[in-house]
Amino acid sequence: MSLPALRRYQAEIARAILSRIASGEGGSISVEVARQGGKNETSAQVELFTLVSHANTGGTIVKCAPTLRPQVFISLDRLESRAIEAGFASAVHRTSTSLRCDRSAAHFLSAERHANVVGHTADLLLEVDEAQDVDPEKFDRDFRPMAAASNAPVVYYGTPWGPNSLLAQARAHHVALERRGGRRCHFHIDWEQVAASHPPYRQYVEAERERLGERHPLFRTQYLLEEVADAGRMFDPATLAQIEGDYERRHLPQPGERYVAGLDLAGPALDGRVSDDRDRTVLTIARVVRRSRPADGSPLPTVEVVEHQSWQGAPTESLLQALADRLRRVWRIGRLAVDATGLGAPITDLLAGALGRGVVEPVVFTSERKSRLGYGLLAAAHAGRLRLYRQDHTADRALCRAELALARASYGTGRLMQFDVDPSEGHDDYVMSLALAVHAAGVDGGPRVARGRSTDGATDGGVR
């Protein structure tokens, strides 16, 4: 059995790293490769060659990742698999977070803020996986000194995210060095370059572009290798214009159509009075149309909002009664996503009892769940699969459009996205209700989840 052949850009990266190890010149390299483009395979083969070539003389590699599970163990599994494939099964020995080859070893460590990594030395190579998600202060304090004694090279792997990440800092430093005439120390391999070496990858990325839209933050960062701003308006004017539909608002369903809904809940007024500044309970009803995706023929939902219903300060009992009747008897909703955060939980349970638990999906707004909702809303909008009924001169229409224009998004560590409307500018009830309706329609704009596979790019048409 032999190792997977490296493609030209992978081989260039590998040679750059190995030459620094061999010469002892130290320094650092940053590697940005489009998602599923093979950076992890490159890293694993560099690690294996280094371990085997230093088996007699000794030395250590340290590789850190943002989390212990799954990232650290995925890297360790991959290296062990490559060692076995290359015929070194009897020469390597694995412990919980290390792989040894006689006198050389590779240690895989978590870079989480609470992780204790004191006592390790990287005298051959120090690697940072997903460097955009590693805290710069943690790295500078706990990891960078590991390479100091032997002047070992440091390699930063990842895809861009925010402008202040560890990867962004490394890239800026390396690009500046290259501009001053230094040797190449930054590798930027976007999806087009990967596809040029591996044509099947193009179909995979084109399918992702259809799913997310080319201006979606995840497509921009993971495939175009562009940074996103830390915060800004969620929708630009062009996207807001694209969302506008050319059909009339509907107060009743049409035969043969499938409808879903999103419900963002506001608590009832404690004193029974209604204030114009109170949150609203907003129900967004949407028609779901499935059309084939050009890249691979699989259907993606188009979400066409046909109706809004809203209440302000309504008592819980009357609100629930009206909602259950309209959704079950009038609209025959196939799926209802409800904000079940806090006081929304008992209302969600009551709705599930009236409509069926197979219809009602409670959505608790954790940071991860809300992030995925926001990405789904962006995917539907950027991919041209979200429409709102045309102007009808109602408060619902005006408030929905105003909130969408005011909505802001911020992007944090771990590719988590938060979105809302600044309270000083207004409310976000219609935005949240719309995000829930898009989710109920089956739109998923979030990142693909690591599956724990030991071959980078073994799924979804990627390359190794």
Residue 175 lies in a domain: yes
Residue 68 lies in a domain: yes
DSSP bridge partners of 299:
292
pLDDT tens, residue by residue, 64-97: 999 999 999 999 999 999 999 999 999 999 999 9
Residue 1 lies in a domain: no
Residue 439: alpha-carbon gap to chain centroid = 16
Residue 285 burial class via C-beta count within 10 angstroms: exposed 0-12, middle 13-18, buried 19 and up: buried
Residue 459 lies in a domain: no
Give the CA-trace dihedral at 389, 381, 211, 253, to 10 degrees: -20
Same domain, yes or no, for 191 and 121? yes
CA atoms of 145 and 153, how far apart (whole Å): 12
Q: What would you report as the CA-atom Rg of the chain, rounded to the nearest whole angstrom?
A: 26
Residue 452 lies in a domain: no
What average pLDDT does this structure show over 311-338?
85
pTM: 0.90
**For residue 427, what are its two tokens?**
């409310």
Proportion of the chain above pLDDT 70, given as a percent = 91
How far apart, in Å, are the Cα atoms of 59 and each of 53, 253, 353? Answer: 10, 70, 63
Given a cut of 70, is residue 266 above it in pLDDT? yes
pLDDT tens, residue by residue, 404-418: 999 999 999 889 999
CA atoms of 424 and 412, how far apart (whole Å): 22
Same domain, yes or no, for 164 and 61? yes
Specify the number of domains making up the chain. Answer: 2
Q: Count other C-beta atoms under 10 Å from residue 409's C-beta.
A: 22
Any residues with CB less than 8 A from the CB of 390 and at least 6 apart, and which?
Answer: 244, 245, 246, 247, 248, 249
> Between residues 438 and 280, which one has the greater pLDDT?
438
Mean pLDDT of the chain: 92
Q: 171, 198, 225 — which closes off a domain?
A: 198
Same domain, yes or no, for 17 and 159? yes
Same domain, yes or no, for 291 and 424? yes
Same domain, yes or no, for 347 and 234? yes
What CATH number does the domain containing 190 carry?
A: 3.40.50.300
Q: 168, 198, 228 — which closes off a domain?
A: 198
pLDDT tens, residue by residue, 293-309: 665 667 889 999 999 99
E strand intervals along 145-280: 154-158, 186-189, 231-233, 258-264
- Residue 295: HSE in the Cβ half-sphere, 13 Å Cα cutoff: 17
Residue 441: alpha-carbon gap to chain centroid = 20
Same domain, yes or no, for 282 and 430? yes
Same domain, yes or no, for 116 and 234? no
Same domain, yes or no, for 248 and 330? yes
Q: Phi and psi dihedrals of 422, rounded to 5?
A: -55, 125
Helix/strand/coil for 419:
strand
What CATH number does the domain containing 416 carry?
A: 3.30.420.240
Q: 164, 198, 232 — which closes off a domain?
A: 198
415 contacts 427 by C-beta, under 8 angstroms: no
DSSP bridge partners of 420:
408
What average pLDDT does this structure show over 151-160?
98
* 27-41, 80-94, 119-133, 335-349: least confident range: 335-349
- What pLDDT sits at residue 322? 83
Q: Count other C-beta atoms under 10 Å from residue 245's C-beta.
A: 14
- What pLDDT sits at residue 398? 96
Same domain, yes or no, for 81 and 159? yes
> Between residues 220 and 321, which one has the greater pLDDT?
220
Measured over the CA atoms of residue 307, residue 313, residue 318 and residue 321, the dihedral's sign is positive
Residue 64 burial class via C-beta count within 10 angstroms: exposed 0-12, middle 13-18, buried 19 and up: buried
Per-residue pLDDT band for 271 (boundaries 50, 70, 90) equals low
Same domain, yes or no, for 388 and 331? yes
Residue 425 lies in a domain: yes
Domain that holds residue 274: 216-440
Same domain, yes or no, for 268 and 358? yes
Q: Count other C-beta atoms under 10 Å from residue 271's C-beta.
A: 8
Same domain, yes or no, for 67 and 189? yes
